[in-house]
């Protein structure tokens, strides 16, 4: 696992955008795995800037990590809506190459199978962006999720519901379930870049990087990945001992 410490959020976002830009320049038909939440907003702003300066997304395919269950893609708190607002609507990606789980799918099991099959049919993910929850979840894989899990319908932990309430009118409106790529689906990605900023993530980052590899700390599994980089701002790196 490689650790890069950026001086602030803007630098963290630029470093991540550099890795994505380099990948797309080398491989114009790259398959990207994308994340939502507050953390990658700056990365997406950087990618939009780079697109304006010539970075071509026309052959890029994307798969998002997760989506709320029970929200239609047009719902302003859905991850589909977020992705179009922050990135897809501002770059030249083709709509058919954009993939997220369908939060309104009538048959959740079938939807999970469809999503895993689609990732496999695209040849797998070249580079997966991750954020991290303050309980060290990745995607929506909460503490206790088996490391062998693939895309599934998962229950959100109370801490996650609380943390994500800021995107909804009321806490009661936060869906209690979500589709999430599993830990195994994430570990299959050829490279992984986890972003974390702010003091609120410092404990989760330290547990993920320096603690034991355990299903109680989902992000700790990344210690076992052959090509994983953590890009942290100084506040998120504060509890690392080296």
Report the catalytic residues. 66, 135, 137, 142
What mask, x for binding ligand GLP by CB under 6 A, covers residues 61 to 90?
----xx------------------------
Size of the site for ligand GLP (CB under 6 A): 14
Q: Choose, by CB under 6 A, the member of 8, 38, 155, 176 that binds ligand GLP.
A: 38
For residue 180, the SS3 value is strand
Residues 186-215 that bind ligand GLP (CB under 6 A): none
Task: Supply the minimum distance, in Å, between the C-beta of residue 11 and ligand GLP.
Answer: 17
84's CB contacts (< 8 A; 6+ apart) are: none
Task: Supply the minimum distance, in Å, between the C-beta of residue 160 and ligand GLP.
Answer: 5
- Cα 56 from Cα 60, distance rounded (Å): 8
Task: Output the CA angle 178-93-118, nearest 5 degrees.
Answer: 45
* Alpha-carbon separation of residue 201 from 28, 29, 35, 166, 234 (angstroms): 33, 33, 16, 17, 11
Considering the rule CB under 6 A, would residue 135 count as an interface residue with ligand GLP? no
28 CB neighbour count, 10 Å cutoff: 13
Binding site for ligand GLP (CB under 6 A): 35-39, 65-66, 131-133, 139-140, 160, 164
């Amino acid at each position: 696992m490689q650790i890069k410490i950026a001086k602030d959020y803007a630098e963290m976002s630029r470093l991540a955008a550099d890795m994505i830009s380099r990948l797309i320049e080398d491989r114009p038909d790259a398959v990207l795995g994308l994340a939502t939440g507050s953390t990658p907003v700056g990365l997406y702003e950087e990618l939009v800037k780079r697109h304006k300066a010539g970075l071509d997304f026309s052959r890029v395919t994307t798969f998002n990590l997760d989506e709320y269950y029970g929200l239609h893609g047009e719902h302003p708190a859905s991850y589909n809506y977020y992705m179009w607002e922050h990135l897809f609507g501002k770059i030249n990606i083709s709509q058919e190459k954009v993939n997220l789980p369908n939060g309104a799918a009538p048959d959740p099991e079938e939807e999970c199978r469809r999503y895993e099959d689609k990732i496999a049919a695209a040849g797998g993910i070249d580079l997966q962006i991750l954020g991290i929850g303050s309980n060290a979840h990745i995607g929506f894989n909460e503490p206790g999720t088996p490391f062998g899990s693939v895309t599934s319908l998962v229950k959100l932990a109370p801490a996650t519901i609380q943390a994500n309430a800021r995107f909804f009118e009321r806490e009661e409106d936060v869906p209690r379930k979500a589709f999430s790529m599993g830990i195994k689906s994430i570990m299959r990605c050829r490279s992984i870049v986890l972003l974390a900023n702010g003091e609120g993530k410092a404990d989760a980052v330290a547990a993920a990087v320096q603690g034991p590899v355990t299903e109680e700390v989902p992000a700790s599994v990344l210690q076992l990945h052959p090509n994983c980089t953590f890009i942290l701002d100084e506040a998120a790196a504060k509890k690392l001992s080296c």
